[in-house]
Amino acid sequence: MLKENPSNADDEFDDPRELYLEHYRRPRNRRVLADPDAVGLVESAGGARLTLYLRLDRGDRAGIRIQQITFQSQRCGIAVAYASLLTELVLGQWLTQAGDLRPEDLMDRFGKGAGALESAALAIGALRHALESVMRGSPHETDPHSNR
């Protein structure tokens, strides 16, 4: 499991449903990031679409860190909550650490309600797509908001 971001304010929630509702009602980092270093875009079979934007810190010899992460989501409110949680969990993490995150890790934080697996998988899929684009050296190939 991914090591949690030490500045995570979500630790104040004892009930997974309360944490889920907090992210659903007040999503964190929900916006397009100008000039991202990497973009991950996925779409579910049901038409939900999630785009993650990453700004990376390449200044450390030990690896690359996620310096900033934002998202946009269409057609799925549950995915908004999962993407919001994901942005808080991976902020400041090494790419290798973030790549180890699984949908079950997100569901463990929120519980396993209706739509949980699909929404968690959508968020993880967008993250993996963004990370893979960094490794391929083509970070903007699927960014619908890019002018490149």
Q: What is the pLDDT of residues 55-82, one digit of tens each?
A: 999 987 778 999 999 999 987 778 899 9
Q: CA-CA distance, 16 to 147, in Å (whole number)?
A: 39
Give domain status of residue 103, yes or no.
yes
Coil, strand or helix at 141: coil
Mean pLDDT of 109-134: 89
Q: CA-CA distance, 122 to 125, in Å (whole number)?
A: 5
| Ranges 46-50, 51-55, 114-118, most confident | 51-55
The model's pTM: 0.81
pLDDT at 143 over 50: no
Give domain status of residue 2, yes or no.
no
Domains: count for the chain: 1
Q: How far is CA 95 from the centre of its chain?
A: 12
Closest CA to 2 of 83, 84, 81, 106: 106
Give domain status of residue 93, yes or no.
yes
Q: Which of 33-37, 88-92, 144-148 has the lowest mean pLDDT?
A: 144-148
Expressed as residue numbers, the domain containing 58 is 13-133
Give domain status of residue 17, yes or no.
yes
